[in-house]
Chain A
Amino acid sequence: MPIIREARGDDFERVYPLLLGFKNPHLTEEHWRQLFVDHSGLQNDHFGWVLVDGDDVVGFVSTIFGERTIRGETVRLCNLSNWIVKHEYRTHSLALHAKVIADNSVSVTNLSPTPQVLKLIEKLGFTVMDKSERIILPVITPRSFTDRCEILTEPGAVEGALKGERLQFFRDHQLPFNHHILLRSHAGDCYLMMNRSYKSIRGSLRLPFARVHHIGAPDIFLRHLEKLVVRVATSLKVVAMIVDDRMLQGTVPWHSFKRPGGERKAAFRSKRLAAEDIDGLYTEAVLLNY
């Protein structure tokens, strides 16, 4: 009879063959390994749950923990992802999921559910949220030269200017493809965290984008967006920026368009959070370079 137990750091080698079942050609073993590394110091050697039959790992679900201050309150987050069970053990699939959502004090997110999983977790009380994305192009305009904001891109400079929780975000996201920007204006600072990530354009053509996962001050971000995107494009050598629509506070930048590829949805369960509070920090998105 299979049992369910916590997935520990040293379970990676046994779980990895299962993860290959996702058949994602863009993820290497080193990518997947990050799900078993404690980047935040909050994992406590607990990286999810495994379904074990004898010596074999036959099912897994990943949990990535984070802690954020949202509207003055400390919120503990758990990003649920990469839920996979061998077909012959599918009757135990729900039990894995049940372990993740057992703790009602944690806000649980799932940012990449399949349509089937989305239906399932919605029935389990998750709130579905729109995850439409917008591609923002670097366009040089007179504003690119007249905008007086300062944009820091060098990691040492960014780190030196951050403090408190934002400094913690910086330190907890240090994979090679994680990038940090600090925009400084007379109205205040805006800290950004993004991945440099290749996306498919057409056929086998893949180009590098700056996939934004956190915007510290959306109003400042939007005010200086034209200069910012040009600077990010040249610094990170990317063709454009990708941002979740819900991070743009209803604004549609004139130099942007909706990312093709159909509807994108995610889901969360929380007593405290709204969809606008949820971003990519401390999630599979930043670890697996989505």
Chain B
Amino acid sequence: MEEKLISIVAAALRVPRSKLTLETGPGDLEAWDSLAQINVASEIEAEFGVSIPIEQLAEIRHIRDFLRYFEKTS
């Protein structure tokens, strides 16, 4: 799941997969702005069949936080 998640984020941000780790977050990439955050969330929601409220999305600081969200809500 981790690999899949990173791949989805890379595709949404249009950056090479090799640039990302689970610790990568909006603060690390210029391309990852608020709109990109929404796009990333949309792709993750579609792929994993989940819904991420904006309040939760706003707290995402690293790709790993998406995993933590899945664990909390599953």
Contacts and interface: CB of A to CB of B under 8 A. Distances in A.
Interface stretch (A15-23, A73-81, A115-123, A206-214): A115-123
Given A101-B54, A102-B55, A124-B54, A94 B34 contact: yes
Interface residues of B, number: 16
Interface class of chain A by DSSP: helix
Interface stretch (B12-20, B37-45, B66-74): B37-45
B1 interface: no
Nearest to A96: B58
Interface in A94-137: 94-95, 97-98, 101-102, 116, 119-120, 123-124
B38 A120 contact: yes
B33 interface: yes
A90 interface: yes
Contacts of A256: none
Interface in B40-62: 42, 54-55, 57-59, 61
Nearest to A89: B27
A28 interface: no
Nearest to A95: B58
B25 A91 contact: yes
Contact of B35 (A95, A98, A116): A116
A92 to B, nearest CB: 8
A120 B38 CA distance: 7
Interface residues on A, range: 10 to 19
The interface centre, meaning the residue of B25, B33, B39, B42 with most chain A CB atoms within 10 A of its CB, is B33
Contacts of B55: 98, 102
The interface centre, meaning the residue of A92, A94, A97, A116 with most chain B CB atoms within 10 A of its CB, is A94
B43 to A, nearest CB: 11
A91 B36 CA distance: 11
A100 to B, nearest CB: 10
A124 B38 contact: yes
Contacts of B59: 95
A270 interface: no
A120 B54 contact: no
A185 interface: no
Contacts of A124: 38, 54
A93 interface: yes
A98 B38 contact: no
Contacts of B57: 94, 98
Contacts of B33: 90, 93, 116
Interface of A: 90-95, 97-98, 101-102, 116, 119-120, 123-124
26 contacts: A90-B26, A90-B33, A90-B34, A91-B26, A91-B27, A92-B58, A93-B33, A93-B34, A94-B34, A94-B54, A94-B57, A94-B58, A95-B58, A95-B59, A97-B54, A97-B58, A98-B55, A98-B57, A101-B54, A116-B35, A120-B35, A120-B38, A123-B35, A123-B39, A123-B42, A124-B54
Interface of B: 25-27, 33-35, 37-39, 42, 54-55, 57-59, 61
Identify the 3 closest CB pairs spanning chains A and B, nearest first.
A95-B58, A91-B26, A94-B58
